[in-house]
C-alpha cells in the first residue's frame, strides 16, 4: 500500500518547517510566493490530502491530554496517572484517560477516538498485545500527523518520540545482588512473556547479577507466568519441580501469589525463602509477611511524562526541535520489608 503523504514528509523533503508547509498550503501571506508555489506543487504531485485532525490541533489548543494505559488493576499504572493529572492540572490542562485492557484493538480505538481534535497530545504505555504483535502503525500515524506523543514504561525503540522509562535492568541487578548477599543460591525469576520490554530488561539485570557471582543462569529457575491467566497450579508445579530459596518477581501480584504457595508448603519467609517484587502497592504493604519491593515511583514518572508532553505542545513549532526527542530515566529504589532477611 502506498504510504500516505503528510505535512512532515513535505517539510522533510523541501527542508522547511512543518509550520511553513501548513501556512503555504493555506496560501498564507506570511510565506513567499516562490515557497508557496514550490510547496503547493509538491503537494499536488504527491496527491497530499490535508488531515483535518492535525490542522485543528495545530491551530488551537484544547488544554486536554489523552492518556492510554494498559489496565487499572496494577497499582503502578494508577500512580503514574495520578502523577500525570497532578502536573497537568497545575499547568491548566485536563486529562482524559482510556484503558486498553491490554488489547491492540482497543488501544487503536482509544487513540482514534481521542485524536479527533479533542486533545493536544498523548501519553501512553503500550498494551501487551501491541508489544506481542510489534505493530505500532497507529502510533506512527499519530506522530506523522504532528500530534505529540510521550510513551512511558512499556515503550518501543522503533518510534521516535519522547519517553519516560525506569532503570529496569539496573534495579533488577541490584535486587538480585541483595538476594545473593543474603546467601541465596537458588534464586528464581517470576516473569512474564519476553515481548514485554520491561520484563526483558529486568531479566537481563537478574542474569547479570548471577554471572557476576560466578553462577550460571539456570532456565529451570525462570517461571514464565501469562499476564492474563495466572494459575496457581502453574506456581505449584514450579515449586514441586524446582529447589529455590528466593524469588525475584517482575510485579507484586506474581510475588504475592508465589508467597502464598510457599506458605502453604510450610516454608518460612524469609528464613527458608526470600521474595522481592516490583511495585510498591497495597498488596505489598499489607501482605503477610510484608513484601520487600522495587519502588517504581509512578507519580514521578507521570509528572515527567506530563512535563515532556506539555513542554512540546507549548513549544513554538521548530522542525529541528520536533525531531529531537528526550528519554527520561526514573531511578527506582528498593524498600526493605519482612520478606527478605535485611
pLDDT above 70: residue 51: no
DSSP lists the bridge partners of residue 309 as none
For range 227-250, the mean pLDDT: 92
Q: Is the model's pLDDT at 316 over the cut of 70?
A: no
pLDDT band for 186, please (50, 70, 90 cuts).
very high
146: its cell numbers? 504532528
Q: Grid coordinates standing for 200?
A: 526483558
**CB neighbour list of residue 256: distance below 8 Å, 6 or more residues apart:** 277, 283, 284, 287, 291
pLDDT on residue 298? 97
Q: Say how many C-beta atoms besides its own lie within 10 A of residue 33's C-beta.
A: 10
pLDDT at 194: 87
Q: Quick check: 2 pLDDT over 80?
A: no
- The pLDDT of residue 18: 85
Which whole number is the average pLDDT over 68-96? 95
What distance separates the 2 farthest-apart alpha carbons in the chain? Answer: 83
- The residue-averaged pLDDT of 208-215 equals 97
Environment class of residue 304 by beta-carbon count within 10 Å: exposed (0-12), middle (13-18) or buried (19+)? buried
Percent of the chain residues topping a pLDDT of 70: 93
Contact 51, 6 (CB under 8 A): yes
Confirm if 245 and 186 have CB atoms less than 8 A apart. yes
Alpha-carbon distance of 66 to 94, in angstroms, equals: 9
Residue 116's alpha-carbon distances to 104, 197, 302, 309, in angstroms, are 19, 30, 24, 18
Give the integer Cα–Cα distance in Å for 279 and 79: 10
Average pLDDT over every residue of 241-268: 96
| Average pLDDT for 308-333 | 81
* Listed residue (66, 74, 130, 120) closest to 98, CA to CA: 66
Contacts for 333 with CB less than 8 Å, ≥ 6 apart: 171, 294, 295, 297
* Residue 279's pLDDT band (cuts 50, 70, 90): very high
Q: What is the 3-state secondary structure (H, E, C) of the chain?
A: CCCCCCHHHHHHHHCCCHHHHHHHHCCCCCCCHHHHHHHHHHHHHCCCCCCHHHHHHHHCCCCEEEEEECCCCCHHHHHHHHHHHHHHHHCCCEEEEEECCCCHHHHHHHHHHHCCCCCCEEEECCCHHHHHHCCCHHHHHHHHCCCCEEEECCCCCCCCCEEEEECHHHHHHHHHHHHHHCCCCCEEEEECCCCCHHHHHHHHHHHHHHHHCCCCCCHHHEEECCCCCCCHHHHHHHHHHCCCCEEEECCHHHHHHHHHHHHHCCCCCCCCCEEEEECCCHHHHHCCCCCEEEECCHHHHHHHHHHHHHHHHHCCCCHHHHCCCCEEEECCEEECCCCCCC
How would you write 109-124 as a 3-class SS string?
Answer: HHHHHHCCCCCCEEEE
Query: Of 15-24, 173-182, 251-260, 323-332, which range is least confident?
Result: 15-24
**Sign for the pseudo-dihedral over CA of 229, 233, 237, 239:** positive
Strand partners, 295: 333
pLDDT of residue 43: 87
Region 23-47 average pLDDT? 87
pLDDT (0 to 100) of residue 250 = 96
pLDDT, position 57: 46
Contact 97, 124 (CB under 8 A): no
Yes or no: say if 210 and 187 are a contact pair by the CB < 8 Å rule: yes
pLDDT confidence of residue 228: 79
Gap between the terminal Cα atoms of the chain: 59
Average pLDDT over residues 10-14: 89
Q: Whole-number mean pLDDT of the chain?
A: 91
* Percent above pLDDT 90 for the chain: 73
Per-residue pLDDT band for 5 (boundaries 50, 70, 90) equals confident
Per-residue pLDDT for 271 more than 90?
yes
Amino acid at each position: 500500500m502506498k504510504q500516505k503523504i503528510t505535512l512532515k514528509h513535505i517539510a522533510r523533503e523541501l527542508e522547511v518547517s512543518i509550520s511553513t508547509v501548513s501556512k503555504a498550503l493555506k496560501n498564507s501571506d506570511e510565506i513567499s510566493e516562490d515557497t508557496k508555489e514550490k510547496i503547493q506543487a509538491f503537494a499536488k504531485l504527491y496527491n497530499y490530502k490535508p488531515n483535518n485532525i492535525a490542522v485543528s490541533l495545530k491551530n488551537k489548543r484544547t488544554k486536554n491530554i489523552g492518556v492510554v494505559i494498559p489496565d487499572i488493576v496494577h497499582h503502578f499504572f494508577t500512580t503514574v496517572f495520578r502523577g500525570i493529572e497532578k502536573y497537568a492540572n497545575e499547568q491548566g490542562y485536563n486529562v482524559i484517560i482510556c484503558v486498553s485492557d491490554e488489547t491492540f484493538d482497543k488501544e487503536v480505538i482509544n487513540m482514534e477516538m481521542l485524536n479527533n481534535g479533542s486533545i493536544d497530545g498523548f501519553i501512553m504505555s503500550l498494551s501487551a498485545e501491541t508489544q506481542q504483535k510489534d505493530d505500532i502503525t497507529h502510533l506512527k500515524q499519530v506522530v506523522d500527523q504532528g500530534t505529540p506523543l510521550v510513551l512511558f514504561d512499556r515503550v518501543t525503540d522503533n518510534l521516535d518520540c519522547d519517553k519516560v522509562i525506569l532503570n529496569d535492568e539496573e534495579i533488577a541487578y541490584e535486587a538480585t545482588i541483595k538476594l545473593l548477599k543474603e546467601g541465596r543460591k537458588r534464586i528464581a525469576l517470576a516473569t512474564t512473556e519476553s515481548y514485554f520490554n520491561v520484563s526483558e530488561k529486568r531479566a537481563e539485570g537478574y542474569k547479570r547479577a548471577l554471572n557476576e557471582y560466578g553462577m550460571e543462569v539456570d532456565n529451570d529457575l525462570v517461571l514464565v507466568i501469562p499476564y492474563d491467566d495466572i494459575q496457581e497450579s502453574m506456581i505449584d508445579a514450579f515449586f514441586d519441580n524446582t529447589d529455590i530459596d528466593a524469588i525475584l518477581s517482575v510485579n507484586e501480584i506474581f510475588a504475592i501469589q508465589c508467597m502464598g504457595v510457599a506458605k502453604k508448603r510450610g516454608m518460612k519467609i524469609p528464613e527458608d525463602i526470600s521474595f522481592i517484587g516490583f511495585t510498591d502497592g497495597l498488596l505489598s504493604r499489607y501482605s503477610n509477611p510484608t513484601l520487600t519491593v522495587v519502588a517504581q515511583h509512578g507519580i514521578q514518572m507521570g509528572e515527567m511524562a506530563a512535563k515532556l508532553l506539555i513542554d512540546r505542545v507549548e513549544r513554538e513549532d521548530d522542525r529541528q526541535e520536533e525531531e529531537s526527542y528526550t528519554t527520561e530515566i526514573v531511578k527506582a529504589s528498593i524498600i526493605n520489608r519482612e520478606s527478605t532477611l535485611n
